[in-house]
A and B are shown apart, each in its own frame.
Chain A
């Protein structure tokens, strides 16, 4: 595909090659190097498509497009495509849609179901994204070395966004959205296969595996959320945890440290605790401290305060929360109110906790969260009544 500058036709050619592969593999068996074989087929198809197009054009133009007969490089091509889909001219929403379409090979309808928007909207988003890439003058080639790391950062972010689109869905179109998480993991595996020495790609994959492992315990059949401390840990996916733990362990030992690796390490600590009481909170607090130093952000700050409460008690954590509230990104944020409610509850101040849960429920944009926060408030309300009677 790198041989051709035309993004649209390349994508179509890959789709056709995938279809051809699906039809041929059951008969001929899987080729030794399916990915490279696929690229070969894709470029063969590309020539066929061009020949159809150029039937109307001058003949020599087709010859100009004839590829050199070097062995196809499967590795470079899907990496190049991922990097192209994370082009800085695109909004993150467009990067997500384009990655799912061009690299994931999902249909517009599948993407629309996953992202909960109409198919026509996704179609427009993708064609607009392609147009923007064309307008920017980008071709199907690796970005210059100076831009590569920034682009790779964007690719990781896009993959994590896709994962979260699927992971955080808890009802309604849950099945379709779960596929997005699986797709994100598949694409991250693909990226890792090409950049085996990139610690942050490995960290991202480990983070996804370790987070996704909890999915079976994370929601009840009615779609309501189960907080980490209350999940049935026997339902966690032990194989995914084992893979994630092994991956992050090996990566942390060898690669320069990064935010995804740290988040994966935190997830691993949670996943290794058979019971909530076994959780190694001092280690989690330490990891959040490192994460805060490396990639500070309002959510890191809040999670660090939750860990602090587990290690040093809720009173100290509440004092830290008052300081954190000075951060404009956190003022009026529902998470801050939710953490405050949680800490107040631990302190035994049930009346204030009740009010804070209600405030958090008012401010959240998530329906399952709202339901959970209202339920907590209601439970405390009755506890409070009980206490005072």
Chain B
């Protein structure tokens, strides 16, 4: 079963970030690298990335066959996706135990969402 662990950046997480010392921030970054390595070694990591600042985002739409890319309404966005871990594990309990190791979980919270798969049942 695949699960996506989503790390959101929002006012609350930014407020926490402000209170951290440089050393704590370094530790935080190392924590993410270590977790990725630990997931990889355990054979559960499918992909994990941190996302660049949302001010670099482009919003894409296609109308009448024409692709239009524009700067998004990022100024109003209070919450954005900051990073994710896509893992392949036995069940939701195992996904939760990995999510608990995400450094952000100790300060704010992370979201664990099951991924839709391509299986089906006999009916």
Which listed segment binds B: A45-53, A120-128, A148-156? A120-128
Interface segment among A25-33, A57-65, A136-144, A168-176: the answer is A168-176
Q: Which residues of A contact B123 (CB under 8 A)?
A: 225, 227-229, 338, 342
What residue of chain B has the Cβ atom nearest to residue A376's Cβ?
B123
Q: B43, A94: Cβ atoms under 8 Å?
A: yes
Known: A121-B43, A128-B43, A227-B123. A370 touches B116 (CB 8 A): yes
Interface string of B15-58 (1 = CB under 8 A from A): 00000000000000000000000001111111100000000000
* B119 beta carbon closer than 8 Å to chain A: yes
Q: Which residues of B contact A365 (CB under 8 A)?
A: 1, 114-117, 119
Are the CB atoms of B118 and A93 closer together than 8 Å?
Answer: no
Q: Is B118 in contact with A172, judged by CB distance below 8 angstroms?
A: yes
Chain A residues near B118 (CB-CB < 8 A): 168-172, 223, 366-368
Interface centre among A92, A122, A124, A218 (most CB of B within 10 A): A124
**Chain B 84-119: CB-based contact to A (< 8 A → 1; otherwise 0):** 000011100000000000000000000000111111
**Do the beta carbons of A122 and B43 come within 8 Å of each other?**
yes
Interfacial chain A residues near B64, Cβ < 8 Å = none
B122 at the interface (CB under 8 A from A): yes
A168: nearest residue on chain B (CB-CB)? B119
Q: Which residues of A contact B2 (CB under 8 A)?
A: 116
Count of A-B contacts with CB under 8 A?
Answer: 84
- B46 near A128 with CB under 8 A, answer no
Residue A320 is within 8 A (CB to CB) of chain B in the complex:
no
Measured between alpha carbons, how far is A209 from B117 in the docked complex, in Å? 24
Interface contact B46-A117, CB-CB below 8 Å = yes
Q: CB of A335 within 8 A of chain B?
A: yes
Closest residue of A by beta carbon distance from B88: A117
> Would you call B44 and A121 a contact (CB within 8 A)?
yes
User: Chain A residues near B46 (CB, 8 Å)?
Assistant: 117-118, 121
Residue A369 at the chain B interface, CB threshold 8 Å: yes
* Complex contacts, B47 vs chain A, CB 8 Å: 118
The secondary structure that dominates the B interface is loop
Contact A124 B119 (CB under 8 A): no
- A91 interfacial by beta-carbon distance below 8 Å: yes
A171: chain B residues within 8 A (beta carbon): 118
Nearest A residue to B89 via CB reads: A93
Instruction: Report yes or no: B42 in contact with A366, Cβ–Cβ below 8 A.
Output: no
- Among residues of B, the one whose C-beta sits closest to the C-beta of A267 is B122
CA distance A117 to B87 in the complex (A): 9
- Is there a chain A Cβ closer than 8 Å to B65's Cβ? no
How does the 8 Å CB contact mask read for A216-249 relative to B, with 1 for contact and 0 for none?
0011000101011100000000000000000000
Give the complex CA separation of A126 and B114 in angstroms: 24
* Residues on A with beta carbons closer than 8 Å to the beta carbon of B89: 93
Contact A121–B121 (Cβ < 8 Å): no
Could you say which of A91, A120, A124 contacts B90, with CB atoms under 8 Å apart? A91
Chain A residues 347 to 389 lying within 8 A of chain B, measured CB to CB, are: 364-370, 372
- Complex Cα distance, B42 from A365, in Å, reads 24
Inter-chain contact B120/A228, CB cutoff 8 Å: no
Most A-side CB within 10 Å, residue of B89, B118, B122: B118
Chain B residue contacts of A123, Cβ below 8 A: 43
Residue of A126, A228, A335, A366 near B119 (CB, 8 A) is A366
Residues of B within 8 A of A229 (CB): 123
A246 to B83, CA, bound (A): 55
Given contacts A91-B90, A93-B88, A117-B46, contact A369 B40 (CB under 8 A): no
Select from chain B the residue with minimum beta-carbon distance to A125.
B43
Q: How far is the CA of A97 from the CA of B46 in the complex (A)?
A: 15
Q: Which residue in chain B gives the minimum CB-CB distance to A94?
A: B43
In the complex, the answer to whether A335 meets B121 with C-beta atoms within 8 Å is: yes
Which chain B residues border A172 with CB–CB below 8 Å?
Answer: 118
Q: Complex: how many Å from CA A211 to CA B114? A: 27
State the CA gap A116–B120 with chains docked (Å). Answer: 16
Specify the chain B residue showing the minimal Cβ separation from A230.
Answer: B123
Sampled A-B contacts (15; CB under 8 Å): A97-B43, A115-B88, A116-B2, A118-B47, A122-B43, A168-B118, A170-B119, A170-B120, A229-B123, A365-B119, A366-B120, A366-B121, A368-B120, A369-B120, A369-B121
Q: Give me the 10 closest cross-chain CB pairs, A-B, nearest first.
A: A125-B43, A168-B119, A124-B43, A227-B123, A367-B116, A368-B120, A225-B120, A366-B119, A117-B88, A365-B114
